Amino acid sequence: MKNMKRIIALAMVFLLLLTSACTGNQNSKADTSKAESSKAESSKADSSKADASTPSETSTPEEPTGPEPYELPIVANKVTLTMFSVLDGKASVSLSSMEENFTVQYYEELSNVHIQFFHPSSATSLTEALNTMIASGEITDIIFNIQSATDGIDALISNGVILRLNELIDKWGYYYNKVFEENPGFKASVTTYDGNIGMYSTSRLDEPTRFFESYVVRKDWLDTLKIEKPTKVDEWYDMLTAIKTGDPNGNGQADELPFVSNSNEEMGIYRLSALFGFNSSYYKQMACSIFDGKVVFASEAPGFTDFVTTMNKWYAEGLLDPETFSTDAAGWKEKVLTDRAGSFYGKMNGGIGTLLGSYDYEKGDPNFNLEPMAYPITSEGKSFDFFSQEPCDNGGAAISAKCKEVEAAVKYLDYMYSPEGQIMMDMGKEGYTYEFDSNGVAHYTDLITKAEGLSLVQAIAKYCIGGIMPRMVNDKYYWDAVMSYDQQRMVYPTVKDSTRERKCPQSLKYSQEEQSRLNTLMADIESYYKEGMQGFVTGAKPLSEVEAFRAQLKTMGLDEAVAIMQAAYDRYIAA
């Protein structure tokens, strides 16, 4: 019985592989010209950078066909690889190691690759765990989250800690190479300053998975007040004022806080600068935006004075939470759940679900409703998005220079990029952890959706690798399952049409020297910038000092820092 299932599963995988291989080849033919031109670009770097850590047989001459497709199992006889990877909090509720995870075991069955996990304690920072591992010289074959190591990818490669993957991908990385071909710019995003590819990057290939942040509003309040979601800045002002004065929570007191934020910058008022057409959030690309090909720091952006003046006015009128700069996560949530918060900036992919769930649960109020709002249209007639994600994450998995089974390691990671691999990672095994419905949409089975004593994401983490490490692609099936409220799913259509022309790309590449200079310069600038913003908004600092504030930032080396970023941006555009 069991064997029968296994054979069927294998047969299916084989079939899928065949079909995808065919389509893959077609694609690659169509894209050959593009691929070749980008290859020609990178080949300069390739040839100059090929170093001792690269196995000699991989320095093959340019072949237009690229890597060969392959089939599972990856290796004929079972091999064991060690892997450094975090044990997510969602998984650690039920597993003491990812070796116990169903999908990891299932993948082992299919691939003949056994993974021995080294999970660092989540109590220490990943950086610390990685650094000590590197310092000790006992490095696992595959290293997830390599981006958290203090030394950059280039240093790790040139000092013989991890392998340069460019040639290895050309040889074995069939599916990753396909991603390069199908997503222009992807290869450039994963290639370092020195022209190395050091890791298999995690990614968000499916467009909807890149959009989960937006402004959020109490839709039921807007309905009570009979106003629409605002699309322009002055409509925003009207909405906030209406919430302040219209008593939408109906308790007879003007205790509503029209816009609440949290001292954590990610959720703070910095996100409101999109109303003025620039990015002021330091957390995102160090508060920089792109104006006509020029990197511009927030304080130099055209809308800056307008922004701080408006925020100052709104704060004084009580439209912004007076505790804007000191509210912690708990306080922020309390405000939402005690019927005082009108709008805020949030992530729709989990937290909002929790809020909707908690509120339902406590008050049983069917009207409580949070909905995403679009980025408003600025005075320039456009709506700007600075906060969505890009296809390629900054993180990923590297392969140790001491790894003995390089081919198995490359293919183990590479297969996660195959269409079958993607669905397997996030959904597990068909017929056991998921099933397709009549429309061809995959759903988790009751095993997961009705798991005893576990929440949905915890159950997914127990059986599958959706939303946790080690996997490569943020899969849309997982996304669909986790976005359990319609309001959460509204976020993609709501924000996708905004322009991203001023968004500074997240993967600018710096040399080691540039990076360290930038860190040194930006350390003090960041503090000064944030303290100044706080002062202007709350009125602790008079608005007449905005000019002096700008000048002070310049004396702290802002121009030099921006010049470093500009150079990186120019390289990015040229690539």
Partner 1 sequence: MATPKPTVRKKSLGKRILKDLATNKYNYLLLLPAILYYVVFHYFPMYGAQIAFRDFYITKGILGSKWVGWKHFQTFFNSFYFGRLVRNTVLLSGYNIIFGFPAPIILALLLNEVRNQAFKRTVQTVTYLPHFISLVVSCGIVISFCRLNGLFNDIVAFFGKERILFLEKKEYFRTIYIASGIWQEVGWGSIIYLSAISAIDMQLYEAARIDGANRFQEAFHITIPGILPTIVILLILRVGRLMSLGYEKVLLLYNDSTRETADIISTYVYTRGIQKGEYSFAAAVDLFNSVINMVLLLSVNWISKKVQGSGLF
Partner 2 sequence: MIKRSKGEIAFNIFNILFLTFLSIICLYPIYHVLMASLSESGPLLAHQGLLLWPAGFSWSSYRVIMNYPGIWTGYGNTLFIVLFGTCFSLLITTMAAYPLSRQGFPARNFFMLAITFTMIFNGGLIPRFLVIRDVGLYDSIFSLIIPVTINTTNLIIVRTAFAAIPPSLEESAKIDGANDLIIYARIIVPLAKATLAVIALYYGVAYWNSWFTASIYLRTRTKFPLQLILREILIANDNNQAGTDTELMSEGIKYAAIIVSTIPILCVYPFLQKYFVKGVMIGAVKE
Residues in the site for partner 1, rule: CB under 8 A? 125, 127, 131, 134-135, 149-151, 155-156, 159-161, 263, 322-323, 325-328, 330-331, 516, 519-520, 523-524, 527-528, 530-531, 533-534, 538, 540, 556
| 199 forms part of the interface with partner 2 (CB under 8 A) | no
From the list partner 1, partner 2, none, which binds 150 (C-beta under 5 to 8 Å, kind-based)?
partner 1
Cβ atoms of residues 356 and 378 within 8 Å:
no
Residue 128 corresponds to which tokens in the numbers above? 């610390």
> Considering CB under 8 A, how many residues would be counted as binding partner 2?
56
Cβ atoms of residues 408 and 400 within 8 Å:
no
Closest to partner 1 by CB, 96 or 519: 519
Cβ neighbours for 201, distance < 8 A, ≥ 6 positions apart: 189, 190, 392, 393, 394, 395, 396, 472
**Cβ 554 to partner 1 shortest distance, Å:** 12
**Cβ 308 to partner 1 shortest distance, Å:** 14
Cβ atoms of residues 295 and 558 within 8 Å:
no
From the list partner 2, partner 1, none, which binds 530 (C-beta under 5 to 8 Å, kind-based)?
partner 1
| 362 forms part of the interface with partner 2 (CB under 8 A) | yes
The single residue among 33, 96, 251, 519 that binds partner 2, judged by CB under 8 A, is: 96
Cβ atoms of residues 142 and 176 within 8 Å:
no
Cβ atoms of residues 261 and 267 within 8 Å:
yes
Binders in 122-151 for partner 2, by CB under 8 A? 122-124, 128-129, 131-132, 135-136
From the list partner 2, partner 1, none, which binds 105 (C-beta under 5 to 8 Å, kind-based)?
none
From the list partner 2, partner 1, none, which binds 122 (C-beta under 5 to 8 Å, kind-based)?
partner 2
The single residue among 173, 198, 396, 467 that binds partner 2, judged by CB under 8 A, is: 467
Distance, in Å, from the CA atom of 550 to the CA atom of 117, rounded to the nearest integer, reads 50
Distance, in Å, from the CA atom of 282 to the CA atom of 244, rounded to the nearest integer, reads 29
Cβ atoms of residues 233 and 378 within 8 Å:
yes
Binders in 437-466 for partner 2, by CB under 8 A? 453, 455-458
From the list partner 1, partner 2, none, which binds 96 (C-beta under 5 to 8 Å, kind-based)?
partner 2
Residue 96 corresponds to which tokens in the numbers above? 């003491």
Cβ atoms of residues 265 and 328 within 8 Å:
no
* Closest by CA position to 383, among listed 276, 291, 492: 276
**Reduced to 3 states, what is the DSSP secondary structure of residue 399?**
strand
Closest to partner 2 by CB, 173 or 248: 248
The single residue among 164, 171, 284, 333 that binds partner 2, judged by CB under 8 A, is: 333
Please tell me the total number of residues recorded for the chain in this structure. 575
**Cβ 290 to partner 2 shortest distance, Å:** 26
Q: How far apart are the first and last CA of the chain?
A: 54
**Reduced to 3 states, what is the DSSP secondary structure of residue 571?**
helix
Closest to partner 2 by CB, 19 or 132: 132
Cβ neighbours for 572, distance < 8 A, ≥ 6 positions apart: 188, 505, 507, 508, 509
Amino acid (1-letter code) at residue 191: T
Residues forming beta bridges with residue 400, ordered by sequence position: 162
**Reduced to 3 states, what is the DSSP secondary structure of residue 143?**
strand
From the list partner 2, partner 1, none, which binds 349 (C-beta under 5 to 8 Å, kind-based)?
partner 2
Taking residues 401 to 440 in sequence order and writing x for each that binds partner 2 by CB under 8 A, - otherwise, the string is ----------------------------------------
Distance, in Å, from the CA atom of 193 to the CA atom of 336, rounded to the nearest integer, reads 44
Binders in 205-234 for partner 2, by CB under 8 A? 212
From the list partner 1, partner 2, none, which binds 547 (C-beta under 5 to 8 Å, kind-based)?
none
Q: In the complex, which residues of this chain contact partner 2 (CB under 8 A)?
A: 87, 89-90, 92-97, 118-124, 128-129, 131-132, 135-136, 212, 262, 264, 266-267, 328-330, 332-334, 337-338, 346-347, 349-355, 357-359, 361-362, 453, 455-458, 467, 482
